[in-house]
Amino acid sequence: MSGSNVLEKYVSRTPEPVKKPAEEPGAVDDVGAFGLLRGIHERALMLELRMKDGNAVAFNYSYLQQASFDPSEGITLHFGGKSIKIEGTNLGVEVRTNLKLFQALIRHRVAWIQECDAQTALSAPAGALVIDNIEMDG
């Protein structure tokens, strides 16, 4: 093959269309009580806790030392010297196929958790995951 043929092979080539990524990196699905990162390999850097009074606080997932789930007590997260207690109804329910809050938390896929007010809790459908209270100690 001569040098000019090699050059023609690459110069005359039709450019391939630019492919869009399947998902926007960092895109979050609102699944009601919490926000889930869409991509299966996506990981949140921080967990934002949204209180019913409008305040919010975020914790870096890299400081998550321990997580526990007791259906009668709730979910407890330990970030360094702080303990976060998440209480609610149906905390262990599958909100989608193979998607539960606790498993999503320990995989760092939850971007935010929303505490709901009394009116929202009362109007929630039966069996829905509802975050009644988020407490912080430490």
More confident residue, 3 or 127: 127
Residue 8 near residue 82 (C-beta atoms within 8 A) = no
Residue 45 near residue 61 (C-beta atoms within 8 A) = yes
Provide, rounded to the nearest whole percent, the portion of the chain with pLDDT above 70: 81
Distance CA 53, CA 75 (A): 21
- Token look-up 């609102």 returns 30
21: confidence class by pLDDT, cuts 50, 70, 90: very low
Task: Inform me whether the pLDDT recorded for 137 exceeds 90.
Answer: yes
pLDDT of res. 17: 56
Q: Could you report the per-residue pLDDT of 49-69, keeping only the tens digit for each?
A: 999 999 999 999 999 999 999
13: confidence class by pLDDT, cuts 50, 70, 90: low
